[in-house]
Amino acid sequence: MADAVLLLPGDGIGPDVIAAARRVLDTVRPGIEYSTCDVGLTAVEATGRPYPADLLDRARAADAVLFGAVGGDQDLDTAWDLRPEAALFALRQGLDLFANLRPIRSIPALADRSAVRDDLAVGVDILIVRELVGGAYFGEKGMREDGVAFDTFEYSRETVARVVRVAFELARSRRSSVTSVDKANILRTSQLWRKVAGSVAEEFPGSSLQHLLVDNAALQLLLRPRSFDVVVTENLFGDILSDSTAAIVGGLGMLPSASLGATGPGLFEPVHGSAPDIAGRGIANPFAAILSAGMLLRHGLGDHESAARVERAVDDAIESGVRTPDLGGTASTDEATDAVVRALASN
């Protein structure tokens, strides 16, 4: 039976970068069967809803989901169930995609695009594991009659344990070093997080664990990025830290991600947004989406060899001098994708 991938291009530059990722997938693993579904503003404009009622059923029927981007210039006062981001959150929660993997990996040819010194930017290989279905993003929220807004921040022992366990399991194939990030000096949820992380660490005697407060972690990730291996943290902290560390490796256009659950299909997407200011201009950076396709091959289809080929091809394309405008170059989306496809032919 052929592998089945659900494509969710979404809004803005989403369709452009998903088309690029599909070209690469077709090159390295022909025969995948694709289906496509509108989500985000695209779906709102077509149907009045940000995603179809059968979205979760269609996702569960696939082996993996490849997501582009959603959002645009919509009013922040729009009801949540009509906001484009609702599609993404429905997938995360409905599929229980609790572990979000965000690799931060430097490419030598992009050292000049790093926000840190060249000697710090080279050789960075960090995997941030972000808890994805808990914390303030999914807690009770609202606005009281007195005008005070609130977002409830909650974590249970099991919610923490399962994502920390994923971090340690992934660390086994790396440097066996895990850094748990919290705010245990202030937050009760972080105090629980730290205790549970310590308990889980005892299940992995060959690995090391260190704890860092999130403010210190933000600083240390920029001052000594090569010293980090796997970083595990809660939803909000993980969102912020992974985006900020993108500055080390050339920006959000270089960051892929994988969102995984205990069972069922994973969701793979570039970390960047829909970038409506450059939508339709053919200049979007496709590398993050292509690298997300690589993560789909590894974590969604179990094809580690093809995933490694995709990663090498992106490196080779950039090493050959191909850069999109966000990386200081002039290559179009298609030209950058062409370079990756050419590199695949030779590796």
Residues with active-site annotation: 137, 183, 215, 239, 243
Pairing of the two strands 125-131 and 99-105:
antiparallel
Compute the distance between CA of residue 5 and CA of residue 32 in angstroms, rounded to an integer. Answer: 7
Under 8 Å between Cβ of 152 and 126? no
Q: Where are the alpha helices (DSSP H) in the chain?
A: 14-28, 41-47, 55-60, 85-94, 118-121, 157-171, 188-201, 214-223, 235-249, 287-295, 304-319, 333-345
Residue 37 half-sphere exposure, CB side, CA atoms within 13 Å?
A: 23
Closest CA to 252 of 121, 68, 127, 104: 104
Closest CA to 236 of 154, 339, 176: 154
3-state secondary structure of 253: helix
Query: What are the C-alpha distances in Å from 97 to residues 258, 286, 293, 313, 319?
Result: 9, 24, 17, 28, 34
DSSP assignment of 268-323, as one string?
EEESS---TTTTTSS----HHHHHHHHHIIIIIS--HHHHHHHHHHHHHHHHTT--
Q: How many CB atoms lie within 10 A of CB 134?
A: 20
Helix H or strand E segment including 37: none
Under 8 Å between Cβ of 124 and 222? no
